[in-house]
A and B are shown apart, each in its own frame.
Chain A
Amino acid sequence: LATQRLRFFHSSNPVIRFLASVKLTIVLLILIGLACILGTLVLQASGIGQPPDKLLEIYTQRYGALRHRIFNALSLYHLYGSWWFTVLLLFLTLNMVVCSLRRLRRRWTQLGFQLTHLSIVFLLIGVVLGVRRSHEGQMQVFVGGESNAVRKIPELPVPSTGAQAADIMRRFDESESARLIELPFSIRLESFEVRREKEPIDKLFFVLNRPDSRPRRIDVAFQKKITRPMGRPLEIQVLGTEPLTQPTEVWVAGTNPADPPALKLEIQHMGASGLVTWFTPRQMGGRMPMPLSENIELRYVLTQTREEMQRLLDEKELPTTGTDRIRVAVAGAPAFEQPLKIGAPRRVPGTSVTVTVLRFVPSFSLDIRTREVTVPTPERINPAIHVRLEDGATSEARWVFARHPGMVSDPRVAAQVTFLESEAEAAKPTIYRVLDSADPRDRHVQLFQNGKRIGNYEGKLGLELPIQSGVVAKIAEWFDHARLEIKEMNVPGQVAMRLRIRNIETGKTDEVRLAGGREQEYGALILAAEREYPIEQFISRVQVRENGKPLFEKLIMMNAPLKYKGYTLYQSGYDSEAGDASRYSVLAVKRDPGVWFVYAGFGMLTLGLVIVFYINPLLRRRSGESQS
């Protein structure tokens, strides 16, 4: 029977002969090639990654309304998934199958040919299976949080009219729950780390002071001399790099009775000392997050009288009143503090700085695709305010995070803004409240768990406050008075660069010092010294859980996904605004049963080509030699 069937393919039936012909192969390959070219010339909807109404706007603006409709009717915006492109691929597969069967003979020399052509069939089966049976989506997990919900990212049709756009959006919104897949297991994110290389890379940045000029960055480890940068008649010689220092406020013990008391804490891990931190009632309103722990807060209360101390010692629960406050510190003026109010620009007394609160978000997060600030949850997980600062002609808008007060990127206005959360809102699960008085013997530390007091301790030197297993904060010293002193300190992650710049035409030579990322103008050139610690890896440490029980732990990294129960989880994104301090990780989740057919196709194709082009010619030559 089998031979009979094969004979069918060997018949002189014109349809079969056409389907098996190399002519058809060539025509189909050319058509597919032309379609691919078209797909790289017409903007693909998946590449733009915008909602339907935006797509409509972009496309009509680019191609005009009429051409947009024609293009859309021809599925040119989802070209590679369009029905006619699929038909071309199907015909190619049919061509391969018929051609293979027609030429099928039991000969070893046939092996390469058969493997090569049947691999295309496997590839297509894999692709079709992938399209029909695969799941893919993204899950966002917060550090300490657990999730099994995967949000699918659908490929939405492109609308031709505004009404269609609204319709697509409506159906998209209605299908919200259908787009959520639940994994048969859940993922707990233990930690997320942006690991950086130990060795920094120092670069000299330069660009012409013109909007159309494209900046260049020269790695000064490899290149010390730049001739005619951006066509300017200059020769720049990099003389050297050094750590950038800047006057920094540091706490030192003092004697002035006007200065506040201070606590010096030493963070110890398994008995080994590490980080040292100072803490005073003047700092950040007397509240700060415990180093190394997100869930613990430190509070410092300086009591004025014995009665006040006793009242606080007797408190069994934390009071839950208060309002959010904003605090602005500008050099040369007393710190300015007021309740948080959106809008209403306010001049900081005694300075030329004006501050306006633009926006408040209870949980700051950044959409990876649109780079827009989103609010994933109404709970206070990462409260932040968007603040505009103006000082004369300089102005900037910056995000200020209540629970990450140190995080400011690229400040232009020299003012320190702090967002002080109300006590009720800030309440972290664990709070250590330090009670201090004028009497060094009357010092206490209280431990509150979820607002309830569970311990009163005497504030003695050497008292250890547990942070997490194996880690404690030890009271190393207690100063009656401490003050801030200004010292030259290395600025981490910044570099200073010394340059000698010679004008080739006039011979004039200058020495220039670039400090950190601050741009300096020289002639028509803008220069800056950049230091970067390149990202080595993104690491999500996850625990895989099933039915509420932990199963195993795994590190998910770039190029090292987690595979479990047919699903593959890839490191995909993080809070790029928060950068290294990202509190969540975005994992891409895939399940594609077709991939094994694709891989089998790859294997067959490779093997087939090696046989056809390397082994067969060798064998032919050998047999030719033996014949002659």
Chain B
Amino acid sequence: MISFSNAFAPAFYASLAFFVVGTIVAAVALARWNARLNWLGYAAHAMGGVALTALLVQRWTATGIPPLSGLFDAVVVFAWMIVLIYLLTEAILHTYWLGLLAGIAQIGFLIFAGTNEPTSALMPNLKSAWLYIHVFAYMLSYAIMTVAFLAVVVYYVYLSKQGDDETTRRYDRLTYQLVAFGFPFLTAGVITGAIWANRAWGTYWSWDPKEAWSLITWIVYAVFLHLRLWSRTWKMPLQKRNARLNWIVILGFVFIIITFFLAHLLPTAKASQHIYTSLTTTRIG
């Protein structure tokens, strides 16, 4: 249940409304395979992106710190980056499907963000420029990996039935390029986190559950990149080979969700540095 009625509510609900409209229009556009409607949905999503940008600017001016601290800000940035990457990908590829899927993801993430109190101040250990680089790199890579996941979903739900090699090759390349583009940012997220931890606590890696899961997520994408290389030697039809690789992208997305949203539920989470329950600071990513 979302109970969000504060000073940031107007921009928040405006972006949510745009995304809902964009998603519905995109769904209709898809059903009718109508280019004009697809662009209308695209425009609505773009407006949602503008509203989300306004929300982030408002957060920044209200708190005086970049809106990258606390779960609310992090998830809003996550949604914002998904919009950006969706807008870019759709402009190039005209998938018709991404408008619906990215829209659903954005709405889901925004509703989740709305259930969290926006942070108003930072604990001293969070006061570091590394925090912003760390969270930014992670959110960007997560958004890219989310769109890669959506591309896989598009392929499975719709395109794989057509069965022509050209589509398969196109989506395989799209998925690979997205993961390859996101992987350095994912790595940067891990590394900046380690550097920051070393500055703040003198330990670059302490195996706290969130760290462990972020490493696991990193490993999944590393496996994907290596497996794709190796799979060139496999003697099997393109579709079958592609299906195996796609499962890893899906697994990677599941692990991102676990790392980002669910790591605090683990039995080992009590000792985590990434979970804050003080008055001023809620959980951060």
**Chain A interface residues toward B at CB < 8 A:** 22-23, 25-26, 29-30, 32-33, 36-37, 39-44, 46-49, 80, 136, 197, 201, 203, 216-219, 221-229, 231, 530, 532, 534-538, 557-559, 561, 568, 570, 572, 588, 590, 592, 595, 598-599, 602, 605-606, 609-610, 613-614, 617
User: What is the CA–CA distance of A536 and B122 in the complex, to the nearest angstrom?
Assistant: 8
Residue of B nearest to A539 (CB): B124
Q: How far is the CB of A119 from the nearest CB of chain B, in Å? A: 10
| Contact (Cβ within 8 A) B187 A595 | no
Q: Which residues of B contact A227 (CB under 8 A)?
A: 3, 5
Q: Report yes or no: B212 in contact with A598, Cβ–Cβ below 8 A.
A: no
Report whether A136 and B117 are in contact in the complex, using a CB–CB cutoff of 8 Å. no
B3 interface neighbour in A43, A203, A228, Cβ under 8 Å: A228
User: At the interface, yes or no: B180 with Cβ under 8 Å from chain A?
Assistant: yes
Nearest CB in chain A to that of B206: its residue = A46
Interface size class of B (residues with CB under 8 A): 35 or more
Assess A33 versus B181: contact at CB under 8 Å? Given A222-B7, A598-B204: no
CA distance A568 to B48 in the complex (A): 47
Q: Are B124 and A29 in contact (CB under 8 A)?
A: no
Residues of B within 8 A of A610 (CB): 184
Question: Which residues in chain B, 254-280, are within 8 Å of chain A measured between CB atoms?
Answer: 263, 266-268, 270-271, 279-280
Known contacts A26-B230, A588-B201: does B194 contact A219 (CB below 8 Å)?
no
CB distance from A517 to the nearest CB of B (A): 11
Chain B residue, CB-CB nearest to A532 = B279
A41/B266 contact (C-beta < 8 A), A26-B223, A606-B184, A606-B191 known: yes
Contacts beyond the supplied A47-B268, A559-B199, A588-B202: 18 A-B pairs with Cβ under 8 Å: A22-B226, A29-B219, A33-B216, A36-B216, A40-B213, A41-B267, A201-B279, A203-B279, A216-B117, A221-B120, A223-B7, A534-B123, A534-B280, A536-B124, A537-B127, A558-B125, A559-B200, A605-B187
Assess the B187–A606 pair: CB atoms within 8 A. yes
Say whether B202 contacts A561, CB under 8 Å.
yes
Please pick, from A225, A559, A605, the residue contacting B124 in the complex, using a CB distance under 8 A: A559
Complex Cα–Cα for A29 and B194 (A): 20
Contact in complex: A201, B121 (CB < 8 Å): yes
The residue in chain A whose Cβ has the minimal distance to the Cβ of B233 is: A22
Q: Is the CB of B226 within 8 A of A49?
A: no
Q: List residues of chain B with CB within 8 A of the CB of A30.
A: 219, 223
**Minimum CB distance partner of B271 in chain A:** A47
The answer, yes or no, to whether B183 is at the interface (CB within 8 Å) is yes
Residue contact A33 to B5, C-beta cutoff 8 Å: no
Task: Kindly list chain B residues whose C-beta atoms are within 8 Å of the C-beta of A32.
Answer: 219
B5 A22 Cβ-Cβ under 8 A: no
Q: How far is the CA of A537 from the CA of B123 in the complex (A)?
A: 8
Q: In this assembly, does B229 line the interface, its C-beta being within 8 Å of a C-beta of chain A? A: yes
A593 to B264, CA, bound (A): 32
Please tell me if the beta carbons of B212 and A219 are within 8 angstroms of each other in the complex. Answer: no
Asked if B90 lies at the interface with its beta carbon under 8 angstroms from chain A, I say no
B232 → A minimal CB distance (Å): 10
A17 to B204 CA separation, bound complex (whole angstroms): 34
Dominant secondary structure of chain B at its interface with chain A: helix
CA distance A590 to B207 in the complex (A): 18
Contact status of A25 and B183, CB under 8 A, knowing A32-B219, A33-B216, A222-B62: no
CA distance A614 to B185 in the complex (A): 12
The one of A23, A44, A537, A538 that contacts B230, using a Cβ cutoff of 8 Å: A23
- Contact partners of B198 in chain A: CB under 8 A: 595
Contact B117 A217 (CB under 8 A): yes
A-B contact pairs, 17 of them (CB 8 A): A22-B229, A26-B226, A30-B219, A33-B220, A36-B213, A40-B209, A40-B268, A80-B207, A201-B120, A219-B118, A227-B5, A228-B3, A532-B279, A534-B280, A590-B202, A599-B195, A605-B191
List of B residues within 8 angstroms of A80 by Cβ = 207
Interface string of B221-249 (1 = CB under 8 A from A): 01100110110000000000000000000
A44 & B219 in contact (Cβ 8 Å cutoff): no
| Residues A197 and B184 in contact, CB atoms below 8 Å apart | no
Q: In the complex, what residue of chain B is closest to A205 when comparing beta carbons?
A: B279
Q: Is the CB of A39 within 8 A of B207?
A: yes
CB pair B191 A29 closer than 8 Å: no
B162 contacts the other chain (Cβ, under 8 Å)? no
Chain B residues with CB under 8 Å of A606's CB are: 184, 187-188, 191
Within 8 A of A (CB), among B171-219: 180-181, 183-184, 187-188, 191, 194-195, 198-204, 207-209, 212-213, 215-216, 219
* A43-B267, A537-B127, A614-B184 known; A595+B204 contact, CB < 8 A: yes
**A548 smallest CB distance to B (angstroms):** 27
Q: Is the CB of A613 within 8 A of B180?
A: yes
A536 to B123, CA, bound (A): 7
- Separation in Å of the A268 CB from the closest CB of chain B? 33
Complex CA gap A572/B198 in Å reads: 13
- CB contacts (< 8 Å) of B187 on chain A: these are 605-606, 609
Question: Are A613 and B7 in touch, CB under 8 angstroms?
Answer: no
Q: Which residues of A contact B204 (CB under 8 A)?
A: 595, 598
A26 to B121, CA, bound (A): 43
Roughly how many angstroms separate A248 CA and B137 CA in the complex, as a whole number?
53
Q: Please, which residue of chain B has its CB at the minimum distance from the CB of A34? A: B216
Q: Please report the C-alpha to C-alpha distance between residue A22 and residue B226 in the assembled complex, in whole angstroms.
A: 7
Give chain B residues whose Cβ lies under 8 Å from the Cβ of A613: 180-181, 183-184
A222 touches B120 (CB 8 A): yes
Residues of the A chain whose Cβ atoms lie less than 8 Å from the Cβ of B191: 602, 605-606
A570 to B202, CA, bound (A): 7
Q: Is the CB of A558 within 8 A of B271?
A: no
Also in contact, A568 and B125, with CB within 8 A (given A22-B226, A30-B223, A33-B216):
no
Instruction: Say if the beta carbon of B8 comes within 8 Å of chain A.
Output: yes
B62 contact set on A, CB distance < 8 A? 222
Chain B contacts with A in 134-182, Cβ cutoff 8 A: 180-181
Cβ-based interface call for B128 (8 A): yes
Bound-state Cα–Cα, A488 to B29, Å: 68
Known contacts: A559-B124, A570-B201, A610-B184. The answer to whether A44 contacts B117 by CB under 8 A is no
